Amino acid sequence: MPRFSEYLGVDYSGAATADDRLPGLRIYHATETQEPREVVPPSLGVNHWSRRALTGWLSTVLSRSEPVLLGIDHAFSFPKAYFETYSLPPDWSRFLEDFCRHWPTDQPGVTVESIRRSIASASSSRTGNSRWRRLTDRRAGGAKSPFHFDVPGSVAKSTHAGLPWLLHLRTTVGDRIHFWPFDGWSPPPGHHVIAEVYPSLWKEPSPNARRTPDQQDAYAACRWLQAADQTERLEAYLRPPLTLDELLLAQIEGWILGVPTDDDRHSTETAAPRPL
């Protein structure tokens, strides 16, 4: 039986401020029996989400009783080198709190670029090195460092804009949210699960003609989550075959749900379900 009743795939955007409506911020929703469909903002005449509005909507959805599997396509944490450089404890909640003090990208009028400019002009910086990559980034193949800005396929800006909103969901919705794998590799039954995803692992070589690239990424994430749960392959992806040291590292750095973990990751035995 499927573990979840609903599935949400989010293609994130780190552009502009938390209150700007962004065409690159897209979300798709599916149920056990319904194919993924795009979710549009409930406000009349509003075509696009802002990060603040999306987080408010997600908070409402995650307050329901039926379990939801939510995939978001930005990094949920940073490489171990970041923790070591700034003497941070291996605790994800404290990492988020520390990050928000230095990168308050959820505040009105603040952008990722404005903080980058202030860091560049300061005598000391609170950022990372684009050569730092997480273990999951290396295993995913094309995934870039969360500090690799201004290049095609980068998730750096989305990550720096999105992390404060993860903390918001963690503190406002309550204990029914399981942030995987930081809260453990085996989510309790009946809990909502929020995980990092990487749609490039699953999407078709070229976007569907009916969808923009951002819509296609959100669709692909939602469709994969639905297919993995309904084909009972999700349980294997929730507990990837990593060594003990790798499991401990991934609970600090995070892990992309569905990332293959061996040299045969492109084979049919290990490949993720592809979207229809």
Report CA 192 to chain centroid distance, whole Å: 14
Whole-prediction pTM value? 0.92
In a domain, 197, yes or no: yes
In a domain, 269, yes or no: no
Dist. CA 134–CA 81, nearest whole Å: 9
In a domain, 193, yes or no: yes
Instruction: Please state whether 108 falls in left (phi above 0), alpha (psi between -120 and 50) or beta.
Output: beta
| Predicted pLDDT of residue 273 | 42
Strand ranges (E), the chain: 6-11, 26-31, 37-38, 68-72, 177-179, 192-196
Dist. CA 26–CA 215, nearest whole Å: 6
| Predicted pLDDT of residue 263 | 37
Max distance between CA atoms of the chain, in angstroms, equals: 56
Contacts of 109 (CB under 8 A, 6+ apart): 17
Burial 69-88 (b: 16+ CB within 10 A, else e): bbbbbbbbbbbbbbbeeeeb
In a domain, 170, yes or no: yes
In a domain, 212, yes or no: yes
Q: What are phi and psi of 44, to 5 degrees?
A: -65, 130
Question: Exposed, middle or buried by CB within 10 Å (0-12, 13-18, 19+), for 152?
Answer: exposed
- If one counts the domains in the chain, the total is 1
Question: Exposed, middle or buried by CB within 10 Å (0-12, 13-18, 19+), for 25?
Answer: buried
Q: What are phi and psi of 248, to 5 degrees?
A: -65, -40
| Three-point CA angle 7, 36, 31, nearest 5° | 45
Q: Which two tokens stand for residue 214?
A: 């951002």
Dist. CA 49–CA 40, nearest whole Å: 7
User: DSSP string of 127-166?
Assistant: ---TT---HHHHHHSSPPPTT--SSTT--HHHHHHHHHHH
In a domain, 271, yes or no: no
Residue 193, strand partner residues: 69, 178
Contacts of 80 (CB under 8 A, 6+ apart): 134, 249, 252, 253
| Predicted pLDDT of residue 268 | 37
Residues in the chain, pLDDT under 50: 263-276
Q: What are phi and psi of 49, to 5 degrees?
A: -85, 150
Report CA 239 to chain centroid distance, whole Å: 18
Dist. CA 56–CA 173, nearest whole Å: 10
In a domain, 60, yes or no: yes
In a domain, 268, yes or no: no
Domain span at 24 = 6-253
